[in-house]
Amino acid sequence: MAPDISEFSYGFALTNEIVTRFPGLATAPVFPSLLQEGKEGGGYDLKLGDPTFPIFLQFKLSHKMLRRSCAEIKTHHLPINVPFYRFPLMDSRHSKQHDMLLSLDQAGSEVFYAAPRFHTHEELDAAFRNNSVAQESRFVRPRTIGALQPGKHHCTLAKHRVYVCSEPREVEYLDIENLESYFRQTLEVAGRALDEHFVNSLLEAFSVAAEKMSDQDKSVLRAYDRYSEGLIQSVTSTRGVFRPIRLRYDELLTSLRRSISSSKKPFEQLSKVSEFASNVFGVQLFVVQERHH
């Protein structure tokens, strides 16, 4: 059964819980609109210079599988029962989205697919009221999925297991409790001061991820055109003129660096990075720190 909720609705509900769920941690989504309104720290309790690490989430929607004739059971004989859920991964013949996220993940960033084990408005509303959206979600790193051959692939979410298909294999995932532990460990081991060097490290990760782009990635081309025309006025519109996507991406990244260098406010710089991540990679940027009381 196809989902009848939107990625925006699920992402909003999950973000709302993540912000307040972890005692002692400030887990803040970076929304450019909040920073443009002049709210230091994006409206959250973030402190310059404090140990910080970034995390990128891509919100996915799940399909509910009800019949035992589905490939996971009938063909692949996986040890799971119906109902279960699955979310699709972008076919690399049409978009290099997974390759890009994989490269961003392998470049030292913390990247996760986030997907729910529900699919209807009624279930989302109930989970939101019960503060259980995060509890009913699973978090899967692109690096655990790895590189995929061109074709259709998806992640299967059983109750306590996750598989990547079409050639099925079990992959690691985190539930919300394990994600909290991961946040705390990563902050202790790899936290970096929230300053301009923190922002530059994100830009470097974007540069590495660019290596996965190709001229055939039409979705990225469209994202480039919308973003460059609507958000970064210093880039001349190239709509209708074909040029290699890597060249386009490099131009966009150069313009982003220039825009960031014109600002000396780290929170404003971070907002520009978040805007870039959302428009080009389709991910929401969060930053994690210890919470100040």
Q: What pLDDT was estimated at residue 37?
A: 46
**Alpha-carbon distances, residue 192 vs 40, 53, 58, 188, 291 (angstroms):** 19, 6, 23, 10, 15
DSSP 229-282: HHT-TTSPP-TT----HHHHHHHHHHHHHHHHHT---HHHHHHHHHHHIIIII-
Residues 187 and 226 in one domain: no
Residues 34 and 177 in one domain: yes
Strand pairing category for 51-59 and 111-116: parallel
d(Cα 252, Cα 279) in Å, to the nearest integer? 11
Residues 78 and 133 in one domain: yes
d(Cα 227, Cα 254) in Å, to the nearest integer? 14
d(Cα 218, Cα 94) in Å, to the nearest integer? 7
Domain end call among 168, 193, 218: 193
Residues 214 and 162 in one domain: no
Residues 55 and 143 in one domain: yes
DSSP conformation class of 70: S
Residues 13 and 127 in one domain: yes
Per-residue pLDDT of the chain (293 residues; tens, 9 = 90+): 889 999 999 999 999 999 999 999 999 999 866 555 445 555 556 788 899 999 999 999 999 998 888 888 888 888 888 899 999 998 777 677 788 888 888 877 899 999 999 999 999 999 999 999 999 999 999 999 998 888 888 999 998 999 999 788 999 999 999 999 999 999 999 899 988 889 999 998 888 877 665 544 555 555 555 555 544 444 444 444 545 555 667 778 888 898 898 887 888 889 899 998 988 888 999 999 998 76
Domain that holds residue 204: 196-267+277-281
Domain-located, residue 218: yes
d(Cα 288, Cα 51) in Å, to the nearest integer? 8
Beta bridge partners of 86: 63, 156
Q: Number of helices (H) and strands (E), helices first, in the chain?
A: 11, 11
Domain end call among 158, 193, 228: 193
* Number of domains making up the chain: 2
Beta carbons of 27 and 112 less than 8 angstroms apart: no
Residues 24 and 153 in one domain: yes
Residues 13 and 51 in one domain: yes
Q: What pLDDT was estimated at residue 236?
A: 44
Place of tokens 């970096």: 192
